[in-house]
Chain A
Amino acid sequence: MTGMAILEVKDLSRHFGGLAAVNHVSVDVEDGEILGLIGPNGAGKSTMLNLIDGTLKVSSGTIAFRGHNITRYPPHRRAHLGIARVFQKNALFKGMTVLENVMAGSYLLTRHGPWGMIGHTYERVRRQPETLKHCMDLLEFVGLEDRTHELCVSLPHGSQRELCVAVALASDPALLLLDEPLTGMNAEETDSMIRIIKEVNATRGTTIIVVEHNVRAVLGLCARSVVLNYGQKLTEGTPRQCVADPAVIEAYLGTDHDVA
């Protein structure tokens, strides 16, 4: 509780018709931490990330990032401020190669003014040594340096997931939102992804919010976690405290009433 908050979410709500997918949630995220966001299916975790990165508009409440009130910012402006996102489903630029995906991810570093966007050819920007190096370093970091010129859709699921992370990291974000990065991965891929997440946090100082069902991974990764249930914040604390909390156990396993 000592660090400075990089992200302050206050009283955030989002309704879909009558359903409150996120219901008056307040969370402070400290600069440099890895925060776990956990909860049963449909708890509102993805919705929460969508509100933070601007993919969805909030119904009420405010979001502040590094002192800016970004509640009404469109997604690209939040990206400019340093928020990056990995979606729950593998979201990649399907028509592009692995390398091109990372280049698109580094758009914010390679973009030009209006005249530059028209004055430079794509070919030229693509061949700029700094850009290439930046992208290749990232691909090496996630272990995809041998597959740079393959179409991204031809990669197996686990590698696509790693590519998603590389794309998100390509803009050098200050806050990384990871939506279930380990889903569908085998043991080896899981370990490698956990290593990647830890290293990003340790060496780049990137603050990370990670939504994950794999409890062991959450215990290993996060110093602090927030539990959501039916859109509301159930509890908050170290992951160990959270999973031991009777309310959390009830939310995951259901009460006798629910089972019957």
Chain B
Amino acid sequence: MSKRGGIKTAIWVAILLIVVFMPQILRGNAYWITVIALLAINVLLVSSLRSITLINEISLGQVGFVVIGAYVHATLMMKGHVNFWASLIISALVAAFIALILAYPFLKVRGIYFSILTLLTAETFRLVAYYWTSMTGGSLGLTGVPGPGKVHIAGALVDFNKPGNYYYIAIGIVVIALLILYYLERAYISFPWRAIKDDNTLAGAVGINVIGYKMVNFVIAAFMAGLSGAVFASFQHNLSPDSTSRFGVTMSIYLLVYMVVGGKDYFVGPLLGTAVLTLLAEETRFMQEYQPMIIGAIAILVMIFMPMGLVGLPRQIKSSWRTRKLTTLAAAEDARRPATAAAGEATAVGAGAPATAPPAAAPSEKTGQG
């Protein structure tokens, strides 16, 4: 147990070190730094999607809160000249506030209806960005979204608008946000969420304010999605509300695939799923037009053969190995039986029958009378 815990910690430290020193490892290769930073931003977004699965709902609208976070942040910084950090928080709060307004009607419905509502809302937000030209630059997009700018650090002037330096800010925010989500999943609030996930009606009957807890969950997820949008805006410096951009419906589907491939029951699922599929997409860039097909095929294969996702694979293998062992044992037992048997069989049945038979017979008697 503690040994496994040690290994886990070691893995996390290693991952963190690699991520932190990535710019050095890549020797300032701007392209790959961009890929990794966007990957991290997407991990936060997929984690926000996964956090809604804690109340047993699938949101197809996290992208909508990304739109809000990104455009509010861009507007605050470009038109309001607000401080980068303040703007970041305000944008995420605006996304959360809009989620709060929507949460009640959205969470009154469940399952596919919730998913459809979130999907349509996200698309609506994107179209607002598309047509509100005076504010968002419309279809031409918004260019020149600034980053935190130049900051004095230990005597040196560091330009955080450069991707190589902004990388650290993006990673830092994502890590903090993920830690918060991780903590929330261990906080007591996660217990009513679990109850709601298992049985909505029973949760209400034992006194849990079902709609209230669901709203809190939804709002937190929207905050995180909005935050990822704001971080993205300052990283990319330009925003486009095109349907093919990261604000489109396709993106929502991709996020879902990342989560499922990684394993939605595990906190690290989004991280692994997003990393694997993003890097795969990079490696297959030469056949870009087939990428949606490849991703789709992977998603289907994972759902059929690895229902617990990549993170769940070790456990899946272990349990299938165990059942195989049990079945071979049972088969061996069966093979052995006819030879050794008569006496053993008789005692087994003799012991088993009285113990099991009466309770099995009793209910039918009872219902017959009643």
CB of B202 within 8 A of CB of A92, answer yes
B202's nearest neighbour on chain A, judged by CB, is: A91
By secondary structure, the B interface counts as: helix
Whether A95 sits at the interface, judged by CB under 8 Å, is yes
Q: Complex Cα distance A111/B206, Å?
A: 12
Whether B189 sits at the interface, judged by CB under 8 Å, is yes
CB of B199 within 8 A of CB of A187, answer no
CB of B366 within 8 A of CB of A76, answer no
For residue A95, which residues in chain B have a CB less than 8 angstroms away from its CB?
Answer: 194, 197-198
CB of B187 within 8 A of CB of A118, answer yes
Q: Which of A55, A104, A186, A216 contacts B201 (CB 8 A)?
A: A55
CB of B188 within 8 A of CB of A84, answer no
> Whole-angstrom distance from the CB of A14 to the nearest CB of chain B?
16
Known: A104-B195, A121-B188. Is A167-B207 also a contact (CB below 8 A)? no
Whether A201 sits at the interface, judged by CB under 8 Å, is no
Number of A-B contacts (CB under 8 A): 121
> Whole-angstrom distance from the CB of B189 to the nearest CB of chain A?
4
Whether B89 sits at the interface, judged by CB under 8 Å, is no
CB of B194 within 8 A of CB of A93, answer yes
Whether A162 sits at the interface, judged by CB under 8 Å, is no
> Whole-angstrom distance from the CB of A8 to the nearest CB of chain B?
21
CB of B208 within 8 A of CB of A87, answer no
Interface size of A by CB at 8 A reads 48
**B-facing mask of A27-45, CB < 8 A → 1, else 0?**
0000000000000000000
> Whole-angstrom distance from the CB of A186 to the nearest CB of chain B?
4
Known: A96-B194, A107-B195. Is A216-B204 also a contact (CB below 8 A)? no
Q: Complex Cα distance A227/B367, Å?
A: 20
Whether A105 sits at the interface, judged by CB under 8 Å, is yes
**CB under 8 Å from chain A, chain B span 339-370:** 358-359, 362-363, 365-367, 369-370
For residue B188, which residues in chain A have a CB less than 8 angstroms away from its CB?
Answer: 112, 116-118, 120-122, 124-125
Q: Which of A74, A85, A107, A122 contacts B190 (CB 8 A)?
A: A122
Q: Complex Cα distance A221/B201, Å?
A: 28
> Whole-angstrom distance from the CB of A49 to the nearest CB of chain B?
10
**B-facing mask of A54-70, CB < 8 A → 1, else 0?**
11000000000000000
Whether A3 sits at the interface, judged by CB under 8 Å, is no
A-side residues, CB < 8 A to B, are 53-55, 74-76, 79-80, 84-85, 87, 91-96, 103-105, 107-108, 111-112, 116-125, 167-168, 170-171, 184-188, 190, 213-216
B-side residues, CB < 8 A to A, are 184, 186-192, 194-195, 197-199, 201-211, 358-359, 362-363, 365-367, 369-370
Can you give 20 A-B contacts (C-beta < 8 A)?
A53-B205, A75-B210, A91-B201, A91-B202, A107-B192, A107-B208, A111-B192, A117-B188, A117-B189, A122-B187, A122-B191, A125-B191, A170-B206, A186-B358, A186-B359, A186-B366, A188-B359, A188-B362, A190-B366, A215-B370
A87-B201, A95-B198, A118-B188 given; 17 more Cβ-contact pairs under 8 Å: A74-B211, A79-B206, A79-B207, A91-B199, A91-B202, A91-B205, A104-B194, A104-B208, A107-B192, A108-B206, A124-B188, A125-B191, A170-B206, A184-B363, A185-B366, A187-B366, A214-B370
